Structure formats: structure tokens, C-alpha cells
A and B are shown apart, each in its own frame.
Chain A
Amino acid sequence: MGDNQEALAMITDQAGRLLEDAVTPQRLKSLLQKPGSFDRDLWLQTVGLGWAGAAVPEEAGGFGLGWEVLCALAGHLGAVTASLPLIQNTVLVDALAQADCGYSAVIEQLVSGEAIATLALFDQGDNGISDTPQLVYGSSGLNGVTAVAPFAAVAGFALVHALREDQSQPALLLVALDQKGVKRDLRNCIDNARGAAALDFANATATPVAVGDGASSLLMRVAARAVIATAFEQVGGAGSCLQSACDYARERKVFGQPIGAFQGIKHKLADIYADIEIARGCALDALAALESNPRAALAYAAAARVTAITAYEHAARENIQVHGGIGVTWESAEHHYYRRSRSLALELGAAPYWRDVLVDHVELLAEGY
């Protein structure tokens, strides 16, 4: 095992234990009850352990453990439905480093976890990434309203997709959110633990990170990386649903036997297992492609996204079903996953959009067996 592998094993082991203890159902329920909730205590605790910078290259001030550690941590978060902006912070650091024009102060805050990032890449009404953003960045600054974005309620910085007026081209902008021109609109959502808010900009100060073609390619890089890490979060959540359903199927007796003895239940759970393993396979391949085949990363990401959405939603929905009446109560934890599965299925663009992306790039996946 190399140093990196050891460090990776250590941090993910620790993550599993910490999250198991810290993320109680009661804590999650209290977060679900209020719009824009965020578990700041957990964030500070994990920031203290270096999670925010774990994946970031050493030259940018991180631990240099790579996307692999981010994906592993995302899997652990997903397994307990904890919400932390690890993916957002890491992806924004990557985007700023790509642009390479001196955002070192912002990067430092994101790597240390002092600041939180949000990827506010969607307009209201968008279900996928648009070529024609509605927000406008011009001489008076940034104007317009984004769709709700996770962690926007608490973030210090946002990556925003807007039309740059003077050049009539899309741009990716870095926006510091603690300024007069920014309003955070907290909405009651199916999953309030995501710290979500819509961002309402009125002549806000912003800095272009990339413009035109550069913006489009950086945007897809950001999206692909966020999607891949999120796929691990989804697979983690789906795995917990399957485990919970199997545990209950072994223990709940109906008609004199465990419900797991009925083929109606067995086949249901086996089908979920198959979905999860397909999603895991796609996610692992997508992660590997970031290094080995970056040209095709978007196609791999799309495959990871559609399979992860399917697997998590299938598992979360049927886990409730297997639990019968208990599963539809507020008190049970099963609906945390049901909510999270749908929330994650929408946040980075919905399945119909990503299926389209996958088909548009299908030739990139033709080889590689």
C-alpha cells in the first residue's frame, strides 16, 4: 500500500465510524423540518479532520488524495443521509485551479472548510445544463435568480452560470455571497437538510472564471465531477436502503414466517441489488476515467448518473414498501432516503437530461472492455 492508499483507508474508516455515531435519526429529522437547514456542527467536526481538502492536490493546499477520497467520503455521507458540501467545495477548487488566475485566497478558504461552496448552475425551470443561461452579467454586475441550489443557504461562494452581456457569451462566475447584491431565498423543499436556497442577484459583484467556449468546457468538467462524486453518494444511500430492507425482511414475521421468505420480497430485493451493482460499476468506471480517459469523462459521468438515480430511487421507494405501515411514518428513517434520493436525482440535472447526454456521447463508450 502506498502512502496515499494508507491515508485514504484511514480517512474513510474514520468517516464511517464518525458518521455512524454523529448522524442520528433525531438530528436528521430536526434538519428536515426547517428550510435551508445545515448541520454546521458536523461540518466543523469533519473540517477539523481535513475532509474539505482531502481530495485537493497538495499544490493547492490539500492532502492530495484525489477524487477517490472524495468519492469514498461521499459514499459514507450518502449511506447515512448526511449532507456536507464536500463535493461542492472540491469541485469549485478544481474549477478555480483550472482557470488558473489567482483565486488563491478563495481556494484557501474552501480547502480549509472556512468557506462553503455552492454550485448554482441552473436557472429556474432548468432540468439540465443549459447553453443559454438566463442570469445576466453586465456593466451593472450580476442580475437574476437561480434555481434552488444545495448549500446556497450557507455558502460563502457560488459558481454561477450567466450570460456575459458585453460579449453575448455564457460565462462561469465566482460570486462571493456575503454582499449586498445577494439575497438567499430559502424554500421549503422535500429535503430541507440540503441547506438549499435560490440565489437572487441584484447588481451583485462577480468575477468571470471562464467565458465562451472556455466556460462551456469548464462547466461540463464541473458537472461531470460533481455527478461522479454524487453517484457514489447515491450508491451509498441505495446500499443502506437495501440493507435496511433486508434486515426488516429477515425480522418481520407475517403469516407465520419472515417476509423475506416470500419470493415477492426476495425478487424485489434481488432486483434492487442488481441496480445498485450496475450503478456502482458505472460510478467506479467514471471515477477511473477521470484519470485514464478524461476525453470521455462526461459520457462515463452520464452513465454513472442515470444508473445511480435509478438504483437509489428504486431502493428508497421499495425499502418503504417492504416496511409496510411503519415505512410511511415520520418516525421511521426510511423517508429520509426517499427524500434524499429524489433530491439528488434533481440537483445536478434530472435523468431525462442525462440520458440525452449519454446518448449524444455514446460513441465514447464503445471501446474499453
Chain B
Amino acid sequence: MYAQMIQSEATTEDAEQLAAFQARIDAGERIEPKDWMPEGYRKTLIRQIGQHAHSEIVGQLPEGNWITRAPTLERKAILLAKVQDEAGHGLYLYCAAETLGISRDDLTEQLLSGRMKYSSIFNYPTLTWADVGAVGWLVDGAAIMNQVPLQRTSYGPYSRAMIRICKEESFHQRQGFDIMMKMAQGTEAQKRMAQDALNRFWYPSLMMFGPSDAESIHSTQNMAWRIKINSNDELRQKFVDQTVPQAEFLGLTIPDPNLRLNPETGHYDFSEPDWGEFFDVLRGNGPCNADRMEARQTAWSEGQWVRDGLMAHAAKKRARRVAAE
């Protein structure tokens, strides 16, 4: 997911207050920024929303990699609009996180120093134009699986951000699928690119949901708080069930010899991704971790004079206005 393996924070408030808070959540009420909330709830949400926001921002990079090489004017425009949407998603989410008492600059510093994470998926490279299709189809597709239920999350600003974001994400997924369709029905070279993209993005997409969390205490607490709605396995299964027929429609082969429809469950059986690789990526050893971090650090440090300049100008303007009054 865009927010992976979110550990819940311990909470030390008094039992009565906690029970009343839990009762509000159980009754389906929205928690708003001014409401009382347990410290653990607040901190966990900052981590989750922050990680989600960072993922939107870093997520600009793998697709942005192809904006200058988009093969038609229309494709270029669609891709630009998509990447622009992702930046917008980052902005809504940072705003939602700010209602919990942390600034966007703080969150950014934590991303750049490596203390906060972004989704593992954005540490994989986009090597051909078909990858742009695969990212929309699979990565946005997987993100939607998680984000649609989060529209009903207990924290008001997060829920409202999700509602806005989900509308755009389903657009992205359709556009990605449309690219894949053109490629899969195209020349031999295009077909090869499409299959290669699926081969490389299939397992990393499954990893987006995180390892099984059926036994996790963090997950139990986060579900009780309704900042997590479904288990990782549930979402992964839903994603596979949705995606397999789409791949068949495209005439592409999912790179899993064990994939088959289980007549008893009505769901697809599939192979687990290599969780060793997943943890390597989280530790910074994915194919693009260093490049992604470098790109964000460079953007931030080279942008320092711009941010300082604009702030200095705003301060001068304020001072001139006060002097004139």
C-alpha cells in the first residue's frame, strides 16, 4: 500500500476517556481535529498519512521519468495531468496531516532524512513506455483497493482527502489500462514491452499490500481505530481476483505458474511475492531507493533559495503594508 506496515503507537490515557473515544468510533462518528483523541491515535495517523503523502510525492518520479518521452501529444498531456494529480494528492494529505499538529516541512525533513518511509513500489524503475501503463493499471489499481475503504476511515480530514483522491485514482487506473491495451494489441515490440512490464511489476504490486498481518497487534489496534479497514491478505486477494481477468483480456500472462482459480473458494490461488526482497527494499536496497532519495533531496536543497526568496519577499510586503497603514 502507499502506507505499509504502519505500527500503532501505544496509548497511555485513562481508561474512561479511551472507552468513550472508542465508542464514538464504533458508532461510526468522524473524529475531527479539535476533538479529543488518544496520543497513540494521533501519532499513528501522522505516520500513516505522512507515509501516504510521501508516496504520492516520490511516486511522481517513476512516471515523470517518461513525461519527456511520451510518444504522442495526447499521451504526454494525460501523463502530465496524472503526475500533477499525484502532487495534488500529496498536498491534500500533507494538509490532512497538518491538522494533527505536524508541519509539512517537518514531514519533508523526516522523509529526506530517511526517518519516514514511502511505498516500496516507487523504488522500482520504469524502463519502457509499457511501464507507464503497468503503473497506472497495477499500482494505482492496488492503491485504490486500499483507499476506497479508507474513505470511511474514522479521522474526518483523512476520510475527506481519500474521497477526493479516489475519484482521480480510478481515472489513472483506466488510463493505465488503456496504454496496456494499445501495447498488447500493438506491434511485436510493443507486446514484448507489455509482457515485460507485467513480469516486472506483478510481484512488487502484490508487495504493496504488505506481508500478512493476520497476527499483528498493530493491525488489530489500527482496525479498532478504523484507520485500517481490511487486512493485507484480504486486499491482496481482492486485487488478484480483479486483475487476473484483466490480464487475460489483454492477452498477457501473469508470471506465476501457481496461479489458478480455486473452485472451492471462488478466488484465485497465487504465489506469495519474495518477502526477502520486500524487506530489502524497505531497508533501502531496492533498485531505485538511492536514486529516488537523491532526486527528492536535490529538489529540496536546490529549491532552498527559492523558498527563502519567496518568504523574504512576503515578509517585506507585509512590512511595507504595515508601514503604509
Chain A bound to chain B: no
